[in-house]
């Protein structure tokens, strides 16, 4: 039986044969990167390039990595899942420790697992979960810069929560997708969404089968407009019904957005843990 990914877990030192498919969980602070996806220009940094460089050094040859969900510039992850096919014999311990020794300080591998060859970080996933963190106070915080979105008008978190419930279920989210979104369908299924206040921190917690480009940030922007009284209650449903992105107001900033969980069928037996980001676990229940 596999570990649940606890803070004191030790990766298995048993060598794995070449060709083993490896699943890896990552966390990263996205402020310094132009998003997850590797860029054509070598001077433009991406999380994918940083991870591939580290894993390739461990393998002593190039390794390509695929992720569960591509995060945008400035967006963070406390639980991104990737996979790659190991070109050489290495243990899970070697992949984990070696990668962490070579990764930049704002990217870390959390665990490594061998998985069956039909596992795919993106296509095997059944759900993604995001949290959007809003520091709701008059002044910004120097210590939380880049890690939260600062909003200086009072927010009614209970109203925002009620407002958000119209987004549940499978619906057309055209009004919440970026103009540059390349998805073939605007249909997405939202499993749950909640808005909760923890002191001066307001958290939007949302899970769905998948998300359109900028979808969570556009939802956050609409909910903040209603919660601050800049728009009337019911505006979220009105925007959704238009299926028109131009009716949905501004896109919320990326700083407060975290990919916090990716769900897979139990058959893959991947570690489970409470969603992050880690610095708010003392305040937010699992």
Q: Residue written as tokens 């606890």?
A: 6
Letter string b/e over residues 197-214, b meaning 16 or more CB atoms within 10 A of that residue's CB:
beeebbbbbbbbebbbbb
Residue 274 counted as domain residue: no
* Averaged pLDDT for residues 36-64: 94
Whole-angstrom Cα distance, residue 251 to residue 271?
33
160 and 189 in a common domain: yes
Domain count across the chain: 2
Q: What is the pLDDT of residues 108-129, one digit of tens each?
A: 999 999 999 999 999 999 999 9
Report the CATH number at residue 133: 3.30.70.660
Please give the DSSP secondary-structure letter assigned to residue 250: P
pLDDT above 80 (res 142): yes
Per-residue pLDDT at 283: 66
Tell me the average pLDDT of the chain.
93
In which domain, by residue range, is 87 found?
Answer: 15-124
Any domain includes 3: no
| pLDDT tens, position by position, 60-106 | 999 999 999 999 999 999 999 999 999 999 999 999 999 999 999 99
Q: Do 107 and 211 have their domain in common?
A: no
**Least confident residue range of 6-20, 71-85, 131-145, 170-184:** 6-20
The last residue of one of the domains, among 79, 102, 124, is 124
Angle at 264 between CA 133 and CA 69, to 5 degrees: 50
Q: Are residues 132 and 65 in the same domain?
A: no
The string of pLDDT tens digits covering residues 178-216 is 988 889 999 999 999 999 999 999 999 999 999 999 999
The CATH number that applies at residue 44 is 3.30.70.580
pLDDT score recorded for residue 10: 78
SS3 content of the chain, % helix, strand, coil (to 5): 25, 25, 50
Q: What are phi and psi of 241, to 5 degrees?
A: -70, -25
Q: H or E element: which one contains 108?
A: strand 107-115
Q: What is the pLDDT of residue 1?
A: 36
Q: With respect to residue 67, please indicate whether it lies within any of the assigned structural domains.
A: yes
- Per-residue pLDDT tens digits for 236-260: 999 999 999 999 888 999 999 999 9
The answer on 230 and 143 residing in a single domain is yes
Q: Is residue 2 part of a domain?
A: no
In this prediction, residue 5 carries a pLDDT of 55
For residue 270, is it within any domain?
Answer: no
Contact 276, 79 (CB under 8 A): yes
Positions marked active-site: 72
Q: Read off the pTM.
A: 0.94
Q: Are residues 39 and 99 in the same domain?
A: yes
2 pLDDT tier (thresholds 50, 70, 90) = very low
pLDDT of residue 32 exceeding 50: yes
C-alpha distances out from residue 208 to 11, 48, 94, 126, 258, Å: 30, 23, 34, 8, 14
Which residues, in sequence order, are CB contacts of 159 under 8 Å at separation 6+? 226, 227, 233
């Amino acid at each position: 039986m596999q570990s649940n990914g606890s803070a004191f877990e030790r990766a298995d030192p048993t060598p794995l044969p070449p060709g083993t498919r490896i699943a890896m969980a990552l966390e990263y602070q996205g402020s310094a990167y132009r998003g997850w996806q590797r860029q054509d220009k070598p001077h433009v940094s991406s999380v994918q390039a940083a991870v591939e460089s580290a894993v390739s050094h461990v393998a002593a040859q190039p390794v390509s990595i695929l992720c569960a969900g591509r995060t945008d510039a400035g967006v963070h992850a406390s639980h991104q899942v990737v996979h790659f096919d190991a070109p050489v014999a290495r243990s899970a311990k070697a992949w984990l420790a070696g990668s962490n020794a070579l990764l930049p300080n704002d990217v870390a591998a959390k665990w490594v697992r061998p998985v069956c060859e039909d596992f795919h970080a993106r296509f095997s996933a059944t759900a993604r979960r995001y949290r959007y963190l809003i520091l709701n106070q008059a002044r910004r915080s120097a210590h939380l810069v880049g890690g939260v979105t600062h909003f200086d008008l009072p927010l009614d978190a209970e109203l925002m929560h009620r407002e958000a419930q119209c987004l549940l279920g499978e619906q057309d989210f055209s009004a919440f997708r970026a103009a540059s979104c390349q998805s073939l369908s605007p249909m997405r299924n939202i499993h749950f969404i909640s808005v909760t206040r923890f002191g001066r921190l307001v958290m939007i917690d949302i899970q769905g089968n998948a998300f359109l480009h900028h979808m969570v940030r556009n939802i956050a922007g609409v909910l903040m407009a209603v919660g601050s009284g800049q728009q009337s209650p019911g505006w979220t449903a009105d925007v959704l019904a238009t299926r028109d992105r131009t009716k949905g107001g501004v896109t919320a900033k990326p700083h407060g957005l975290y990919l916090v969980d990716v769900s897979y069928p139990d058959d893959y037996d991947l570690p489970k843990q409470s969603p992050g980001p880690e610095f708010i676990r003392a305040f937010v229940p699992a």
